[in-house]
Copies of this chain bind each other. A is one copy, B any other.
Amino acid sequence: MSPPRQVFIAVIGAGGVGKCFLNQLTGLAQRLSQSPSSPYYLSLIWLSTSKKALYHADYKSLSNWESELANNSKPTLPLPQLQDYLVKAPGKVVLVDNTSNQDVADAYPSFLKKGISIVTPNKKAFSGNLQLFKDIFAAASNGSGAGGYIFHESSVGAGLPVISTLKDLVETGDQVTKIEGVFSGTMSFLFNSFQPTSGGGGKFSAEVTSAKEKGYTEPDARDDLNGLDVARKLTILARLAGLDVESPTSFPVQSLIPKELESCQSGDEFLEKLPQYDGQMDALKQEAEKEGKVVRFVGSVDVPSNAVKVGLEKFDKSHPIAALKGSDNIIAFYTKRYGDNPLIIQGAGAGGEVTAMGVTADLVKVLRLLH
């Protein structure tokens, strides 16, 4: 048996997901080093935030990254210099991008072409303009290219096996006809509270404020309510299902921000004025209730008709989408092989630990392929 090979890990981002990932990485590295049969061992050689970076010119492993990052970091390097640093590492390199930064995403094709593999939850890379999406998979070894590998499970539904399942369906020749579901933990929580299947629920504006207070929304709740986050996820799934979706704004996306409030100067001003528009949402709720249904914020991809859309829809109370709990996501794949009853995946689709888990699982897959 050959001695274990060193694999170098570079991490960008040390926020919510980044910190959880770094802890999972520490655990993974320990388990690998304790396994006598492991074909590789891991060295963290780069860790950066938007401003600071930790690294050694001689590729020595980083230790005590949390205190070192606070006390002994240098200014971060521009992306071309980072690429240069990683290309010269004495072994295979996996770049873990735990940001949602467009500039980093734009650099993926270049990194991949140089043989650097990438794992990431960064939606921007796969949901922005179509050419970037194509360039990434044209460069990657698990696309049509000969470069590094790329995996992005956590770009949709966090650690839930959504991307891998869709890829399996497509690669084995199944025909995906429709993908439908609740793709936002925020929207899930909001509508499960606004109109529970058991009845009741508060005014829409009150539920938004409550969700924000409980930490379920972005700092500015409008970043959830505009539907763009869900539109990005649908763009990714539609493209993987074979549709050439130009951008996340190239199909109908219903924003829950009333037209009159689009000009609000701040999230606080928006929340203050939102109650004036509760009437519209109340009417919708009552209309659904009369039909024995509930309102949910969903996204869908209809493959044969090339139609992607995001917005409010009514569902029978017994429908799995209606019966969702808490901030769970649910994703249903309708395919030729699965027939009338779709393949369904459900569970937490947001949160640091489960998002990081998808990234760590992707890292394990890359390690196996680099073996």
Contact = CB atoms under 8 A, between A and B. Distances in A.
A279 interface: no
A341 B347 contact: yes
Contact of A341 (B144, B328, B341, B360): B328
Given A161-B165, A369-B368, A24 B172 contact: yes
Contacts of A341: 325-326, 328, 347-348
A339 B164 CA distance: 23
Interface in A129-176: 142, 144-146, 159-161, 164-165, 168-169, 171-174
A112 interface: no
A251 interface: no
Interface residues of A, number: 51
A302 interface: no
Interface stretch (A27-35, A79-87, A235-243, A261-269): A27-35
Given A24-B172, A161-B168, A164-B161, A348 B339 contact: yes
B144 A37 contact: yes
Nearest to A162: B161
Contact of A323 (B165, B323, B354): B323
A151 to B, nearest CB: 12
A355 to B, nearest CB: 10
A31 B168 CA distance: 14
A216 to B, nearest CB: 14
Contacts of A171: 28, 361, 364
Contacts of A368: 142, 369
A288 interface: no
A1 interface: yes
Nearest to A360: B172
Contact of A338 (B337, B345, B347, B360): B347
A258 interface: no
B346 A344 contact: yes
Nearest to A169: B357
A353 interface: yes
Contacts of A339: 348
A354 B165 CA distance: 13
B27 A343 contact: no
A4 interface: no
A28 B173 contact: yes
Interface string A347-369: 11000011001001100100011
29 contacts: A27-B173, A28-B172, A28-B173, A37-B144, A142-B368, A159-B343, A161-B164, A161-B168, A161-B345, A168-B357, A168-B361, A171-B364, A172-B360, A172-B361, A172-B364, A173-B360, A318-B323, A320-B323, A323-B323, A326-B341, A328-B341, A337-B357, A341-B347, A343-B345, A343-B346, A343-B348, A344-B346, A368-B369, A369-B371
Given A28-B172, A326-B340, A342-B347, 7 more contacts: A31-B173, A161-B165, A320-B323, A326-B341, A337-B354, A341-B348, A343-B345
Interface of A: 1, 24, 27-28, 31, 35-37, 142, 144-146, 159-161, 164-165, 168-169, 171-174, 197, 318, 320, 323, 325-326, 328, 337-348, 353-354, 357, 360-361, 364, 368-369, 371
7 smallest CB-CB distances across A and B, nearest first, come from A343-B347, A37-B144, A168-B361, A344-B346, A172-B360, A27-B173, A337-B353
